[in-house]
Amino acid sequence: MLVHADPFLVAGILFFLSLVAGMFSVRFKVPALILFLAIGMLAGVDGPGGLVFDDAENTNIIGTVALAFILFSGGFQTEWSSIRPIALQGVVLSTLGVLLTAALMALPIALLPAFDFKDAVLLGAIISSTDAAAVFSILRTQKMGLKGSLQPLLEFESGSNDPMAVFLTLAALKWMRSPDVPLMQMVVTFVVQMGAGALIGLVMGHVACWLIQRLHVENEALYPVWGISIVLVTFGLSETAYGNGYLAVYICGIVMSGSDFLFKHSLQRFHEGFAWLMQIVMFLVLGLLVTPSELANFRVIGVGLLISAFLMFIARPVAVFICTSLSRISFREKLFLSWTGLRGAVPIILATYALTENHPDANYFFYLIFFIVLTSVMIQGKTLAWFARRLNLDAPVRAERIYPLSFDRTPGSGSDETREVEILPDAAIVGHNVGELKFPEGVSILLINRDSRFLIPKGWTSLKPGDTLLLFGERSLLSDVERELSRRIDSRGDKINESNS
């Protein structure tokens, strides 16, 4: 029983169990978020932990803060060059796609005897957004990637559709409170919120990069504090200016990802870890808020299965096919996009808005949404990799090497960076010693990865096929060196350029 334990001990145990759960999720190919929720539920009032937690308002605040950091990290890890070709298509899916999903869900829900039309609109809005973290967490646990532009499209759509779902949910609640609100007023509110959020995110991204180049903090350990302040200021400034804070932090992250500044890599790694912490906290708290006995209710399970089936097999596919009707996306890719509409933490957080508004059926709505999310993750999540393989859209994921050293942008380093170059079997330098390589001044080999071992290069070190060289130097010089290392031997024993072969 955790109910009588010290709060610090409880928090430490829950975090440790979440870490272990994350390890098991990879081994047994189970979505991590399900395990995080399960730990929270087991620690709750119906579980062995016995903790009593029913504070929907604080859950909403925790979820809002956590989601802001998760979205910023998602933008900060996104390369603009990869999403630029699909940006327009992603915007259509994250706005019109969410609106269509909400509208398509409202119609059949309104036909169920337990709901009126306003309730149906609210539920449709709550479950309208997809979860990128859930999709890619599942793909990572199964060590699978996606071909072509599918991966960046899914990342961009799922990362940018939460602001639309938040707006629709709040608009639906406002409409329930004030049924006479003109439609045009809601349209104007939408334009103002999205426009202000996008503008503030864009400006704050550039301002943050400009400041970080000029405020040379002597203690590198303080840069994470700088990163946290960027997220909080951007979100708060946007909300103060009646903008959408979620959109602002996401765009701010994308702008910073496309810029070059001091300690960028360290800041990205910090925010990636912090986003994982926020996900764990968010799912644990949501799990604590749930009373499992309330889920074991035919009114929740029966209606939830009907709504989930309509969402997975009709609403999401119809919205995807309409939004991609004018694109060059293939039929197989549209099918896969239709099946990747996983619901995650966002709909559960949005359901807490109804709880804080004291909606008469808010408690039932919360458990219904919770069940729909569980159904989506378990059914779609477990079949995602299988479906990608069936459609021949899967791609192998290159294992990222972890080197026993780190490099980051520092004052005076200019455009220096590291780069990995693999030695092909027919490369001209195979069999040559490191001392024979004529690299430009300023370019050097830091390490050689050979058969999962790291070698410190010496002048007499002979290069073998499959070696991966970790190079350091100026970006433009590294490109020349990479081209030289890619030269191979033709049948006459002469060097030829790989790009011309």
Q: Residue 50: left (phi > 0), alpha (psi -120 to 50), or beta?
A: left
pLDDT at 436: 81
Give the domain 56-393 fold: Na+/H+ antiporter like fold (1.20.1530)
Residues 6+ apart with CB under 8 A from 21: 32, 35, 36, 38, 39
Reported as a single tens digit per residue, the pLDDT across 24-46 is 876 776 777 888 889 999 998 88
User: How many other C-beta atoms can be found within 10 angstroms of the C-beta atom of residue 468?
Assistant: 14
pLDDT at 445: 80
Query: 416-500: what CATH class?
Result: alpha beta
Residues 6+ apart with CB under 8 A from 105: 120, 123, 124, 127, 128, 307, 310, 311, 315
Identify the three-state secondary structure at position 492.
coil
Residues 6+ apart with CB under 8 A from 12: none
Ranges under pLDDT 50 in the chain: 490-501
Distance of CA 432 to the CA centre of its chain: 44
Question: Residue 445 has what DSSP assignment?
Answer: E
Identify the three-state secondary structure at position 137.
helix
The H-or-E segment that residue 38 falls in is helix 32-43
| DSSP conformation letters of 281-343 | HHHHHHHHH--HHHHS-HHHHHHHHHHHHHIIIIIHHHHHHHHTTTS---HHHHHHHHHT---
In the chain, domain spans: 56-393, 416-500
Pairing verdict, β 144-146 and 416-422: unpaired
Distance of CA 366 to the CA centre of its chain: 24
